[in-house]
Structure 1
Amino acid sequence: MKILIIGGNGTIGRKVAHHFKNDNEVIIAGKTSGDLTVDISNSVSIKEMFEKTGKLDAIICIAGEAKWAEFNKLSEEDYYIGLKSKLMGQVNLVRIGRKYLNPNGSITLTTGVLADDPVVQTTSAALVNGGIHSFVKAVVLEIDNGLRVNVVSPDMVEDAYDKYKNAFPGHNPVPMSKVVNAYVKSVQGKINGQIIRVYA
């Protein structure tokens, strides 16, 4: 398969890309590094990326920003960071990317545990993750050409434990192998419109 991984040089993306590179043609895209660069908050940048990739069999997005801050300190503009990047960025990857997928191709988006189990300072991130979950369940009712769309929603991953453990008290870090397998399930399986939750 020819697979595009947006965010393929990140904490999760590196492990996912390494797995798929064994048997597939993998293209890495990122905001500042990779085979291609893309700003997913900009639909023009997304279209330019796809013009360079050509036809694909699978698209995986493990990218997107959202502002973490106390609710009382979040401005309207702070919310727009997540809405434009992680939410609409991934919506636009589906909206535009579907035209570049071969029949029966797949798109896998990424959220996280905050949609179901938020912690403090995550009202913006939780809002975005929940919105993506609802989008995925709805879009598969209309998307054509045999295309599948799923979303991987992991708890805090073990490779980020040292950085985020204080923000996620009591959360058990998820082994990276389980996270990678969630993307394998989405890309190589037949499920559609699913939220693939990954817990330790």
Structure 2
Amino acid sequence: MRILLIGVNGEIGKILQPELSKNHEIISAGRNSGDFRIDLSDTNSIEKLFKEIKQIDACICIAGDCYTGDILSLDEEKLNIGIKNKLLGQVNLVLIGQHYLNNNGSFTFTSGKMGDKPIKNNIAKAIVNGGINSFVLAASLELERGIRINVISPAKVSDIPVDDLINAYLKSIETTANGEIIKVNY
């Protein structure tokens, strides 16, 4: 399988890339690293990436910035960091990428525990992760050509057994799962 992996230099990317490359061809992309550059907050950058890379079977996104801080420090500008990068970035990967992904391909996104179980000082993450989860549930009902979409919602990565995290992403790309929020070690 030919997999576009976005966010290779992040914590999850450093775990996934070597594992996935054992059985799949990985094309890596990131803001500052990887085979290709992408700015998730820029639709032109997303379109350019999909035009440059051909024959993609799966797109996995494990990238996207988000603000952490209490409600007194939160304002629209800080909230928009996560909305523009992580939420709309992943949404736009589908809106644009669905036209380039191979038939029966898949999108796998990453949200996080805060979408379901927020803790103090993480309102922006709760909004963004919850939005990603809702988008995946809705988009799975409408994607055509057999294209599937799922989201991995992990707890704090340092608290998750590596195999559980890897298996969640493998479930999304290697099975027929569609429209699932795959929770990892809540």
What per-residue deviation string (whole Å, max 9, x for no partner) do you get for residues 132-168 of structure 1?
111111011111000000000000112xxxxxxxxxx
- Please give the residue correspondences for 1:164-183 in structure 2 after superposition, counting only pairs within 5 Å: 173-183=159-169
Q: Is 1:7–2:7 an aligned residue pair?
A: yes
How far apart, CA to CA, are the structure 1 residues paired with 2:65 and 2:39?
Answer: 11
**Is the 2:153–2:181 contact (alpha carbons within 8 Å) kept by the matching residues of 1?**
yes
How far apart, CA to CA, are the structure 2 residues paired with 1:99 and 1:54?
Answer: 11
The match for 1:142 is 142
Deviation at residue 73 of structure 1 after TM alignment: 1.1
The match for 1:187 is 173
Q: Percent identity?
A: 46
**SS of structure 2 residue aligned to 1:104:** coil
Which runs of structure 1 show a deviation greater than 6 angstroms over 4 or more consecutive aligned residues? none
What is the root-mean-square deviation of aligned Cα atoms in Å?
Answer: 0.9
Deviation at residue 9 of structure 1 after TM alignment: 2.0
Aligned residue pairs, count: 186
How far apart, CA to CA, are the structure 2 residues paired with 1:23 and 1:31?
Answer: 25
TM-score where L is the length of structure 2 = 0.97
What per-residue deviation string (whole Å, max 9, x for no partner) do you get for residues 88-132 of structure 1?
000001111111111100000001111111111110111000011
How far apart, CA to CA, are the structure 2 residues paired with 1:23 and 1:139?
Answer: 28
Q: Which runs of 5+ in 2 are unaligned?
A: none
- Please give the residue correspondences for 1:20-99 in structure 2 after superposition, counting only pairs within 5 Å: 20-99=20-99
Report the more deviating stretch, 6-15 or 179-188. 6-15
How far apart, CA to CA, are the structure 2 residues paired with 1:8 and 1:94?
Answer: 19
How far apart, CA to CA, are the structure 1 residues paired with 2:142 and 2:116?
Answer: 25
How far apart, CA to CA, are the structure 1 residues paired with 2:162 and 2:117?
Answer: 20
Counterpart of 1:180 in structure 2: which amino acid? Answer: I
TM-score where L is the length of structure 1 = 0.91
